[in-house]
């Protein structure tokens, strides 16, 4: 995307870039900070700084890589303002983890999360409700059975059917290698859907 460096065109170009990349940058920032608020602040500050300084972006060959690097630095700066949070989150091992986080894998993780949520919503009503109660809300079979007024065996059957459908949908959409690479590298904390991926 070409960035104009003159007057209102500069701001207009930045707005287009912001709208194009915000979701990806936000997901990346959230993976680093583990905080919704800090992630939003980190992305916003990068663009506020660009508007304030009017930095010449016409010589930047890869604006996407530049933005991801800026957001990463912004995340570290924001977290460092809170000494307790900084000490807890940014031990030496955590710095290494941040360096290993691949923005493209974060984006793929978000796509996987959206895909699975949509797949769950397409399940038959009873299977969908059973899956949500047991796998997402962590109710026991007995609690879910009482909630729905059905037997534990019926709960089990719905879960088997739902899990089979979700597994087939997942691996029809993505290769086994791609899915497992992202899940194993980013983990349950970074990818919110991993809590129920374990059952698929």
With CA atoms as reference, report the closest residue to 37 among 29, 48, 28, 46.
29
Q: How much is the pLDDT for 31? A: 79
User: Any idea what the CATH number is for the domain that residue 178 is in?
Assistant: 1.10.10.10
Question: Residue 156's domain spans which residues?
Answer: 103-197
Helices (H), the chain: 7-33, 36-53, 63-80, 83-89, 92-100, 103-121, 125-131, 141-148, 152-173, 176-190, 194-197
The pLDDT of residue 4 is: 57
- Quick one: which of 131, 115, 108, 127 has its CA closest to 170? 115
Residues 20 and 83 in one domain: yes
Would residue 42 count as lying in a domain? Answer: yes
Residues 150-177: tens digit of each pLDDT: 999 999 999 889 888 888 887 777 655 5
Mean pLDDT of all residues belonging to the chain? 75
pLDDT at 198 over 80: no
> Is residue 22 domain-shared with residue 58, that is, in the same domain?
yes
Classify residue 1: in a domain, yes or no.
Answer: no
Considering its fold, how many domains does the chain have in total?
2
Please give the average per-residue pLDDT across 189-197, as a whole number.
Answer: 44
Residue 46: inside a domain, yes or no?
yes
pTM equals: 0.50
Which contacts of 57-66 are long-range, i.e. CB under 8 A and separated by 24 or more positions? Answer: 57/3, 57/5, 58/2, 58/3, 58/4, 58/5, 60/3, 63/1, 63/3, 63/17, 64/21
What are 34-67's pLDDT values in tens digits? 788 888 999 999 998 888 887 777 777 788 888 9
75 in the same domain as 11: yes
Asked if residue 191 and residue 124 are part of one domain, the reply reads: yes
CA distance 167 to 188: 18
pLDDT of 117 higher than 50: yes
Q: Are residues 13 and 79 in the same domain?
A: yes
Same domain for 82 and 52?
yes
Residue 152 falls within a domain, yes or no? yes
Q: How confident is the model at residue 95 (pLDDT cuts 50, 70, 90)?
A: very low
């Amino acid at each position: 995307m070409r960035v104009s460096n003159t007057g209102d065109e500069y701001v207009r170009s930045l707005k287009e870039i912001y709208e194009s990349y915000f979701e990806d940058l936000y997901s990346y920032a959230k993976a680093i900070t583990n905080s919704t608020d800090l992630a939003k602040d980190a992305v916003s500050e990068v663009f506020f700084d660009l508007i304030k300084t009017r930095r010449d972006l016409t010589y930047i060959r890869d604006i996407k890589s530049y933005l991801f690097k800026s957001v990463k630095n912004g995340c570290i700066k924001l977290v460092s303002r809170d000494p307790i949070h900084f000490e807890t989150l940014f031990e030496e091992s955590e710095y290494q983890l941040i360096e290993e986080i691949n923005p493209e894998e974060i984006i793929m993780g978000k796509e996987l999360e959206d895909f699975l949520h949509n797949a769950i919503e397409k399940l038959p009503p009873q299977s969908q409700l059973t899956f949500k109660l047991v796998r997402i809300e962590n109710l026991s079979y007995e609690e879910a059975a009482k909630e729905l007024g059905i037997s534990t065996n019926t709960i089990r059957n719905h879960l088997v059917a739902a899990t089979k459908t979700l597994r087939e949908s997942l691996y029809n959409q993505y290769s086994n290698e791609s899915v497992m690479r992202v899940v194993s590298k980013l983990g349950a904390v970074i990818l919110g859907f991993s809590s129920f991926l374990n059952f698929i």
